[in-house]
């Protein structure tokens, strides 16, 4: 059940005035035009108009806002930059939106220990430019440069450029629902920096990762950064089947070759951009002359390392029945090759624009609702899952399947993400896709040992499948947020009675 705050105009005006007194009048908005602008994100979650929008500039502002919201039991939905496609930024009806975009400081770039301390309003564009000036880079998503690194990293593994490490979060500054401000890592010791995640006491950072702002509001984060090496390049391998592509990716990862690796199907790999007539091709079989799976690998290090690694990758590709694509092969699709070069070679966000039409990597046009389904599983399970998913989507929708696969943590964890374009105006198609995604998740969990990568309220709440874990998590939530004001309508903890 979705929350609806039911207060009369006088009560709402009193709360607005209390907020203005606490944090300043220019940081509180309650006019209808502004409220309507915050009623939705890019997902299919229905519009919900908030009662107030607040724009804090400091952690103290955040604390004062939460104290007032807690006092009046007003649900609060927080986000960094509002670039969202999954419904996490849609507020409670009549609730409060906390837009953190004014908290946009890069506080520290520590190249000695390889971390940076940033606020949630910092964008990838801003962060990438500041790091490049110091010869460093950050984990980068296949998304727009206006997104928030803090928000993205808290929902790991939404990142590229780093295959070997799953989690970029080091140390967090958090404000709890009652206004308490604390840090989770080494910075809580007097004089301590932000370079260590925990020690000598338990790691609390994990409570706020994947929590979607239901446990506390992150106002500052220490995140991992990496040096820009002397040389880098993108290597592209082609395979006639997905299992061979995944075996190739795991092999080179286990031998310490790539910085990052992604496996694409032929739709998402961009080949249909070179030949638009292939855009609606049956995803179960690649067209003649087009590889079924393409593996892009970012190599980084000294120039001599690049040369030796490329020779090794030729050998490994042949081992699994594949081949390394020549520059001439790649340039058959210059759009996709350019995007690979930008995100891997230039360490800069893919701005997703060509003219006026936004795109995902590989040239997937976003002509409507961009429906996504994402799971994590072990490699052998993903090989079987891929075949089943391709059949399922094609048989159910008749739509071309676009997917890409990220190995993380030396290939121990495999992220499998599919993307479908569904016109918002076609309500029946939207319902069919949502029902299909729900069924696919159930089957992936039960048959293939997968886990959902993201909580999505419109696909169901899988927390209750976790047994005693759910009970422990609800006890933690109850202790940190007894009135359940933080992002209540994301659907993890629907109401106070659920705690």
User: What integer pLDDT is reported at residue 355 of this predicted model?
Assistant: 29
User: What integer pLDDT is reported at residue 358 of this predicted model?
Assistant: 30
User: What integer pLDDT is reported at residue 499 of this predicted model?
Assistant: 53
**Helix extents (H) in 89-162:** 124-132, 149-154
Tokens 């179960």 belong to 284
User: What integer pLDDT is reported at residue 76 of this predicted model?
Assistant: 95
> Which long-range contacts does 102-111 make (Cβ < 8 Å, 24+ apart)?
102/27, 102/55, 102/56, 102/57, 103/56, 103/57, 103/58, 103/219, 106/130, 107/220, 108/194, 109/134, 109/136, 109/225, 110/193, 110/194, 110/195, 111/135, 111/136, 111/225, 111/227
User: What integer pLDDT is reported at residue 176 of this predicted model?
Assistant: 98
Rounded to whole angstroms, the Cα distance separating 336 from 259 reads 19
Computed on alpha carbons and rounded to an integer, the radius of gyration of the chain in Å comes to 23
User: What integer pLDDT is reported at residue 478 of this predicted model?
Assistant: 95
Residue 162, SS3?
coil
pLDDT digits (tens, 9 = 90+) for 279-320: 778 889 888 888 999 998 888 889 999 899 999 999 999 999
In 212-329 the beta strands, taken as DSSP E runs, fall at 217-224, 226-227, 231-239, 260-265, 293-301, 323-324
* DSSP letter, residue 357: E
- Which domains, from first to last, does the chain contain? 9-102+480-498 (3.30.43.10), 106-227 (3.30.465.10), 231-452 (3.40.462.10)
User: What integer pLDDT is reported at residue 344 of this predicted model?
Assistant: 62
Residues lower than pLDDT 50 in the chain? 350-367
User: What integer pLDDT is reported at residue 316 of this predicted model?
Assistant: 97
User: What integer pLDDT is reported at residue 359 of this predicted model?
Assistant: 32
Dig out the tokens for 66 from the structure.
């939460």
User: What integer pLDDT is reported at residue 106 of this predicted model?
Assistant: 98
Answer yes or no: pTM beyond 0.85. Answer: yes
The torsion angle over the Cα atoms of residues 326, 243, 365 and 339, rounded to 10 degrees, is -40
């Amino acid at each position: 059940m979705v929350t609806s705050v039911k207060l009369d105009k006088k009560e709402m005006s009193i709360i607005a005035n209390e907020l203005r007194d606490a944090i300043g009048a220019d940081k509180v908005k309650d006019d209808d035009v502004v409220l309507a602008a915050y009623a939705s994100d890019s997902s299919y979650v229905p519009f919900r108009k908030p009662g107030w929008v607040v724009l804090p500039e400091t952690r103290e502002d955040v604390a004062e806002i939460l104290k007032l919201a807690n006092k009046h039991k007003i649900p609060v939905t927080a986000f960094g930059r509002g670039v969202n496609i999954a419904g996490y930024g849609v507020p409670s009806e009549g609730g409060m939106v906390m837009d953190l975009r004014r908290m946009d400081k890069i506080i520290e770039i520590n190249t000695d220990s390889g971390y940076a301390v940033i606020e949630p309003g910092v964008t990838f564009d801003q962060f990438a430019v500041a790091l490049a000036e110091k010869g460093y880079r950050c984990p980068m998503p296949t998304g727009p440069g206006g997104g928030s690194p803090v928000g993205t990293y808290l929902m790991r593994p939404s990142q590229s450029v780093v295959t070997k490490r799953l989690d970029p979060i080091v140390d967090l500054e958090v404000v709890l629902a009652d206004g308490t401000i604390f840090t989770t890592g080494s910075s809580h010791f007097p004089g301590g920096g932000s370079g260590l995640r925990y020690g000598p006491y338990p790691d609390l950072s994990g409570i706020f990762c994947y929590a979607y702002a239901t446990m506390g509001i992150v106002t500052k984060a220490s995140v991992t950064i990496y040096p820009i090496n002397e040389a880098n390049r993108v290597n592209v391998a082609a395979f006639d089947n997905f299992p061979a592509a995944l075996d190739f990716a795991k092999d080179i990862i286990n031998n310490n070759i790539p910085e990052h690796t992604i496996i694409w199907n032929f739709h998402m790999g961009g080949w249909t951009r070179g030949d638009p007539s292939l855009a609606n091709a049956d995803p179960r079989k690649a067209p003649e002359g087009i590889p079924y799976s393409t593996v892009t690998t970012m190599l980084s290090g000294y120039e001599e390392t690049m040369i030796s690694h490329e020779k090794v990758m030729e050998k490994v590709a042949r081992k699994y029945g594949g081949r390394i694509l020549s520059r001439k092969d790649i340039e058959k699709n210059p759009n996709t090759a350019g995007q690979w070069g930008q995100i891997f070679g230039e360490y800069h966000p893919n701005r997703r624009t060509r003219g006026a039409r936004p795109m995902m990597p590989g040239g997937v046009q976003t002509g409507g609702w961009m429906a996504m389904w994402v799971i994590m599983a072990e490699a052998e399970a993903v090989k079987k899952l891929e075949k089943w998913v391709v059949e399922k989507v094609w048989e159910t929708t008749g739509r071309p399947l676009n997917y890409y696969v990220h190995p993380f943590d030396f290939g121990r964890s495999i992220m499998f993400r599919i993307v479908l374009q569904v016109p918002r105006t076609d309500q029946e198609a939207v319902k069919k896709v949502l029902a299909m995604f729900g069924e696919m998740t159930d089957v992936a969990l039960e048959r293939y040992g997968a886990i959902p990568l993201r909580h999505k309220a419109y696909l169901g709440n899988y927390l209750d499948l976790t047994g005693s874990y759910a009970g422990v998590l609800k006890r933690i939530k109850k202790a940190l947020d007894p009135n359940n004001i933080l992002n209540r309508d994301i659907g993890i903890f629907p109401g106070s009675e659920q705690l």
